[in-house]
């Protein structure tokens, strides 16, 4: 004897935990299985009812499916009722078992004694019938649509919907039937018939013509429904059968769409509905809502449209959120049809963006977004910005992204663009995407007129909000202040733009600002890095402040942040090469905006990156071959330089605009100075033979010529190595001398040198820096940065070449690092790098591997932690270490070599030793 359903429900309710509930269900399921196995007939309906309850709770019930079939096959109504219910709930059309029930259903459909049994079968069929069942039973259902009992007619008609959906071929036989039933006296049957017609038209739009003649009839039905007191049994709040009215209006919409005559025929009744339905009740609003959609959906004259738009206006002003939601929903659908009409409600829509309800806010925001154009961008952006300040946090990311997109798309001029983006960054900087800031900077490099203004604006923003600013704003502002620092001074910046407040700034103030930012964001490595780069650039822009800036930069040589320390040390080194410092810190070249936008399109970027990579690989092979074979490295290097320039062009890297060849004249002065510089560095090395000078010149000239891709230098290394073995170590040493802390082989990071890059362009801080997207054009390349030219591979190669038998095979060309591969972001290029390092043999690579391992395990461990040990072991050593360059624990390349103490002009001893090798 099993328990009753109510008892089971009670037992489940009494459960305090989910585990308890599972236990009760498991026990009951076992009992049910037992009962089913015993073919217990007397309690079968009760068992199936319990099974449905268990199913509702979300437990498996497949074992009881056959029981429902047995119940259906039974003779009593109560059994059949629970059996059909079980069929609908426990089974679905995909199950084979369903086929077994077809015969029982057929018999029930033809039951002449009890129409409620027929009703049960129709409901079940309408809910779950499969295609096979539909084919088998369609004739029976069709017959039932003529049944004298309206109870059967309405159900059979709706059942037909399922059948035609499952088997569209059967559509034909129901087309006329549906139209016939529209004349039925019973509203429920008419409703079912209208639903069926809608379904038929949706399934086969060509049948619209067949139903068009019924438009006047549909209008008549609708008109009769509009009569007050027409049929009290379907009255809801004074409105007769709103469900039927809604269905009829929808049907009219489908019939009137694209057909002027039908639209005309229905316009009277639509006007009547639109003006007579009372909007105080939800039912009335449902009809009005449908009516408006119909008016907007058919070929309609202006007057009626106006009526519809006005109804939407009333909806928008309604206090009820639901009504406002549907109004926005409809406006969103209508906006493509009649933008002007929607524009009229702009103010209300913008108000809705500020609604308390997130559903409404989102709808409104989407609508506003589609309403913005060049004419109203200023007002709408102001509204949205006002709202941004007060909106809640979960909504800000969306809103910010939309505002930024609108600004970028419709900005009437560049100053406005800058102002608005700055305003967005001040209000919601955390949500502004870096791409947006980057695009702004690209634009700025192209707009010299705006640069002084931008510098002043950013200065003001930093001065006023420096402590609370988001990283994106800090990075952007610091970059601008660093890049255009001298324009802040009244004497250099030119006249103020219209409506701009005056800004009295001395060069000392600029430096003070950097210091203030540093004080407030000392712990944020990314910010400090940007400050350092800005300070470095300012040394060239504000000559009077060099000592202060230098002190500022020097402050971080002992930072525990690897990148900060690196920059500080390297930038400090630049001061010992006064001759090239100004060149190094020249203003950034303007980036090609169109190119940038193209590359920023993700698909375009991927394609461009791929092409660039392939081209570079080809170039490398080609250059290697030609340079290796030539005795004089210089021509080959020049060729390589051009080739590299070309590959950069392909990869969208044309920073200079002129390409490799075009920029050659501009670079002409560079080689001379650099050769001198190299000479100076190499001063103590007697081995600097003419061949070496040639190679060095080539090394120096090439980067200058081609806006230097790192590949280039590596290419040169490849080319020059075999030709002038003696020169290469020298060149390598030169580079090494400038940036001892730069070489972190295997440190998963692009080596950094004194760069003329925008803030953080190459560092690998988790917060991805500006202008270093995977899209190459975002990162401007230095025009004359010979010092950063990479000599790690050069160094390695030089070592290999210099050692007896260490001659590099051309076949190793693919190992050439493409460190700043235009196509790869940091994330992409690192794996390649590591792989390359591990794959390559030779001593330098061994160093690389060790360093990599160390870095991974001891990331920038603070020195203090290590000192006690040193104290115990060797006091003298500790003193010495403390006095030395801070970089030694992060430098793998040099092994235990003490690093340069950083004196200006004087060469550290270890460089000489390298070159001695």
Partner 1 sequence: MIKFMLMVNKQGQTRLAKYFAEFLTTDERRALEGEVVRKCLSRTDKQCSFYEHRQYKVVYRRYASLFFMIGVDDDENELAILEFIHCFVEVLDKHFGQVCELDIMNEPEMVHYILDEMLLGGCVVDTNKANVLEPVQLLEG
826/623 Cα distance (integer angstroms): 26
CA end-to-end distance (rounded Å), the chain? 97
Whose Cβ is closer to partner 1: residue 232's or residue 499's? 232
Our CB check for partner 1 shows the closer of 261 and 320 to be 320
Minimum gap (Å) between residue 355 Cβ and partner 1? 9
3-state secondary structure of 809: coil
Residue with Cβ nearer partner 1 (160 or 489): 160
State the minimum distance, in angstroms, from the CB of residue 217 to partner 1.
21
CB-neighbour burial class of residue 270 (10 A; exposed 0-12, middle 13-18, buried 19+) = buried
Which lies closer to partner 1 via its Cβ, residue 325 or residue 575?
Answer: 325
Q: Identify which of 553, 496, 493, 559 has the alpha carbon closest to the alpha carbon of residue 524.
A: 559
Give the whole-angstrom CA distance, residue 116 versus residue 913: 103
How many CB atoms sit inside 10 A of residue 654's CB?
23
Whichever of 59 and 416 has its CB closer to partner 1, that residue is 59
Q: How far apart are CA 163 and CA 425, in angstroms?
A: 58
Q: Which is nearer to partner 1, 81 or 598 (CB)?
A: 81
Q: How far is the CB of 887 from partner 1 (least distance, A)?
A: 53
Q: How far is the CB of 241 from partner 1 (least distance, A)?
A: 7
- Cβ within 8 Å of residue 332, ≥6 positions away: 363, 366, 367, 370
Nearest to 159 by CA among 194, 118, 127: 127
Which residues lie below 8 Å from residue 659, measured CB to CB, with a gap of 6+?
645, 646, 648, 649
3-state secondary structure 97-130: HHHHHHHHHHHHHCCCCCHHHHHHHHHHHHHHCC
Say which residues have a Cβ less than 8 Å from residue 776's Cβ, sequence separation at least 6: 599, 608, 609, 612, 651, 652, 653, 821, 822, 823
Q: Which is nearer to partner 1, 117 or 475 (CB)?
A: 117
Least distance between partner 1 and beta carbon 85 (Å): 5
Nearer to partner 1, 231 or 516 (CB): 231
Least separation in angstroms between residue 3's CB and partner 1 is 14
Question: At closest approach, how far in Å is the CB of 15 from partner 1?
Answer: 11
CB-nearer residue toward partner 1: 117 or 667: 117
Task: Give me the residues that bind partner 1 (CB under 8 A), please.
Answer: 5-6, 9, 13, 49, 52-53, 55-60, 77-78, 81-82, 85, 88-89, 92-94, 116, 119, 122-123, 126-128, 151, 154-155, 158-159, 161-162, 188, 191-192, 195, 233-234, 236, 241-243, 246, 250, 282-283, 285-286, 289-290, 321-326, 329, 356-360
Closest CB to partner 1 among residues 97, 607: 97
Do residues 246 and 285 touch, judged by C-beta distance below 8 A? no
Q: How much of the chain is in helix, strand and coil states, percent to nearest 5?
A: 70, 0, 30
CA-CA distance, 639 to 636, in Å (whole number)?
5
Cβ closest to partner 1, residue 254 vs residue 730: 254
Shortest distance (Å) from residue 53 CB to partner 1:
6
Q: How many CB atoms lie within 10 A of CB 239?
A: 20
Distance of closest approach, residue 48 Cβ to partner 1, in angstroms: 9
Residue 405 has which token pair?
A: 């997109």
- Minimum Å gap between C-beta 340 and partner 1 is 25
CB of 350 to partner 1, least distance (A): 18
Q: Quick one: angle between helices 115-128 and 97-109, nearest 10?
A: 150
Which of 87, 713 has the CB closer to partner 1? Answer: 87
Of the two residues 53 and 174, which places its CB atom closer to partner 1 in the complex?
53
Please, which residue, 249 or 377, has the CB nearer to partner 1? 249
What distance in Å separates the CA atoms of residue 619 and residue 133, rounded to the nearest whole number?
68
Q: What is the DSSP letter of 236?
A: E
Cα–Cα distance, 450 to 432 (Å, whole number):
22
* Tokens read off for 879: 């003193």
SS3 235: strand
d(CA 825, CA 771): 11
Angle formed by the axes of helices 282-297 and 302-317, to 10°?
Answer: 140
CB of 116 to partner 1, least distance (A): 5
Closest separation in Å from C-beta 273 to partner 1: 14
Is 880 within 8 Å of 896 (Cβ atoms)? Answer: no
Give the nearest distance from C-beta 742 to partner 1 in angstroms: 52
Give the shortest CB-38-to-partner 1 separation in angstroms.
23
For residues 306 and 290, give the distance between their C-alpha atoms in angstroms, rounded to a whole number.
Answer: 16
Is residue 157 a contact partner of residue 211, using CB atoms and an 8 Å limit?
Answer: no
Of 223, 195, 197, the residue nearest 210 (C-alpha): 197
List 240's β-bridge partners, or say none: 235
Q: What is the 3-state secondary structure (H, E, C) of 695-737?
A: HHHHHHHHHHHCCCCHHHHHHHHHHHHHHCCCHHHHHHHHHHH
- Using CA atoms, how far apart are residues 454 and 550, in angstroms rounded to an integer? 25
Least distance in Å: CB of 294 to partner 1?
A: 11
- CB-nearer residue toward partner 1: 158 or 790: 158
Among 332, 230, 314, 331, which residue's Cα sits nearest to residue 275? 314
Q: Are 249 and 221 in contact (CB under 8 A)?
A: no
Q: How far is the CB of 267 from partner 1 (least distance, A)?
A: 21
Q: Rounded CA gap, 407 and 417, in Å?
A: 6
Is 678:731 a contact under the CB 8 Å cutoff? yes
Q: How far is the CB of 512 from partner 1 (least distance, A)?
A: 49
- Tell me whether residue 55 or residue 520 sits nearer to partner 1 (CB atom): 55
Who contacts 54 (Cβ-Cβ below 8 Å, separation ≥6)?
25, 28, 29, 32, 61
């Amino acid at each position: 004897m099993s328990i009753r359903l109510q008892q089971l429900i009670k037992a489940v309710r009494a459960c305090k935990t989910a585990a308890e509930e599972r236990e009760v269900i498991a026990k009951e399921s076992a009992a049910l299985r037992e009962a089913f196995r015993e073919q217990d007939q007397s309690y079968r309906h009760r068992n199936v009812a319990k099974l449905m309850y268990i199913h509702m709770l979300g437990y498996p019930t497949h074992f009881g499916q056959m029981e429902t079939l047995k119940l259906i096959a039974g003779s009593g109504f109560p059994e059949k009722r629970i059996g059909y219910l079980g069929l609908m709930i426990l089974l679905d059309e995909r199950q084979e078992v369903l086929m077994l029930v077809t015969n029982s259903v057929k018999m029930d459909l033809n039951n002449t004694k009890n129409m409620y049994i027929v009703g049960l079968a129709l409901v079940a069929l309408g809910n779950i019938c499969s295609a096979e069942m539909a084919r088998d039973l369609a004739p029976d259902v069709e017959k039932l649509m003529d049944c004298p009992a309206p109870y059967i007619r309405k159900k059979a008609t709706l059942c037909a919907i399922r059948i035609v959906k499952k088997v569209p071929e059967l559509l034909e036989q129901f087309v006329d039937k549906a139209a016939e039933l529209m004349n039925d006296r019973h509203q429920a049957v008419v409703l079912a018939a209208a639903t069926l017609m809608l379904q038929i038209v949706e399934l086969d739009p060509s049948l619209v013509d067949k139903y068009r003649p019924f438009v006047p009839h549909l209008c008549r039905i609708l008109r009769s429904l509009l009569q007050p007191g027409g049929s009290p049994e379907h009255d809801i709040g004074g409105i007769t059968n709103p469900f039927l009215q809604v269905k009829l209006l929808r049907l009219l919409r489908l019939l009137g769409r694209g057909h002027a005559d039908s639209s005309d025929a229905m316009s009277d009744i639509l006007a009547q509905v639109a003006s007579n339905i009372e909007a105080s009740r939800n039912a009335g609003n449902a009809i009005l809502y449908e009516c408006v959609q119909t008016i907007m959906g058919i070929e309609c004259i202006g007057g009626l449209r106006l009526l519809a738009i006005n109804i939407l206006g009333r909806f928008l002003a309604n206090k009820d959120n639901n009504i406002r939601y549907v109004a926005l929903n409809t406006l969103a659908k209508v906006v493509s049809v009649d933008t002007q009409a929607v524009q009229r409600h702009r103010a209300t829509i913008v108000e809705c963006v500020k609604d308390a309800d997130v559903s409404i806010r989102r709808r409104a925001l989407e609508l506003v977004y589609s309403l913005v154009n060049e004419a109203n961008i200023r007002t709408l952006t102001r509204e949205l910005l006002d709202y941004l300040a007060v909106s809640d946090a979960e909504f800000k990311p969306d809103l910010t992204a939309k505002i930024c997109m609108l600004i970028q798309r419709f900005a009437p001029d560049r100053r406005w663009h800058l102002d608005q983006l700055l305003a967005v960054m001040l209000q919601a900087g955390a949500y502004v995407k870096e791409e947006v800031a980057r695009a702004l900077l690209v634009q700025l490099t192209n707009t010299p007129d705006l640069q002084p203004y931008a510098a002043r604006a950013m200065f003001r923003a930093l001065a006023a909000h420096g402590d609370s600013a988001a990283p994106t704003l800090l990075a952007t502002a610091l970059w601008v202040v660093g890049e255009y620092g001298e324009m802040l001074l009244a004497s250099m910046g030119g006249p103020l733009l219209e409506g701009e407040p005056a800004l009295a700034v001395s060069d000392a103030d600029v430096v003070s600002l950097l210091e203030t930012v540093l004080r407030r964001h000392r712990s944020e490595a990314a910010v400090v890095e940007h400050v350092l780069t800005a300070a470095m650039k300012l040394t060239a822009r504000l000559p009077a402040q060099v000592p202060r800036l230098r002190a500022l930069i020097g402050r971080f040589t002992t930072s525990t942040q690897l990148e900060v320390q690196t920059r500080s040390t390297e930038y400090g080194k630049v001061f010992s090469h006064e001759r090239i410092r100004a060149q190094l810190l020249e203003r950034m070249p303007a980036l090609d905006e169109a190119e940038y936008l193209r590359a920023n399109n993700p698909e375009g970027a991927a394609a461009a990156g791929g092409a660039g990579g392939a081209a570079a690989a080809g170039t490398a092979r080609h250059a290697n071959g030609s340079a290796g074979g030539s005795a004089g490295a210089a021509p080959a290097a020049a060729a390589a330089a051009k080739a590299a320039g070309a590959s950069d062009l392909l990869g969208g890297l044309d920073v200079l605009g002129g390409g490799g060849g075009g920029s050659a004249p501009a670079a002409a002065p560079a080689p001379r100075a650099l050769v001198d510089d190299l000479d100076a560095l190499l001063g103590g090395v007697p081995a600097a033979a003419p061949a070496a000078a040639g190679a060095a010149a080539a090394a120096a000239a090439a980067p200058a010529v081609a806006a230097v891709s790192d590949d280039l230098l590596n290419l040169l290394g490849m080319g020059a190595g075999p030709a002038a073995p003696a020169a290469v170590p020298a060149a390598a040493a030169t580079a090494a001398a400038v940036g001892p802390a730069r070489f972190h082989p295997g440190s998963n990071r692009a080596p950094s040198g004194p760069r003329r890059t925008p803030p953080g362009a190459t560092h690998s801080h988790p917060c991805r820096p500006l202008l270093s997207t995977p899209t190459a054009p975002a990162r401007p390349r230095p025009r004359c940065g010979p010092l950063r030219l990479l000599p790690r591979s050069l160094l390695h190669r030089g070592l290999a070449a210099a050692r007896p038998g260490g001659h590099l095979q051309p076949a190793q060309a693919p190992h050439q690092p493409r460190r700043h591969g235009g196509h790869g972001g940091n994330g992409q290029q690192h794996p390649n790098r590591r792989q390359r390092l591990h794959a390559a043999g030779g001593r330098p690579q061994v160093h690389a591997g060790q360093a990599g391992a160390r870095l991974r395990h001891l990331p920038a461990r603070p020195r203090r932690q290590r000192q006690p040990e040193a104290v115990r072991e060797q006091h003298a050593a500790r003193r010495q270490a403390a006095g030395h360059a801070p970089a030694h624990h992060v430098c793998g390349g040099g092994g235990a070599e003490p690093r340069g103490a950083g004196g200006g002009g004087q060469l550290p001893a270890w460089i000489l030793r390298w070159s001695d090798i």
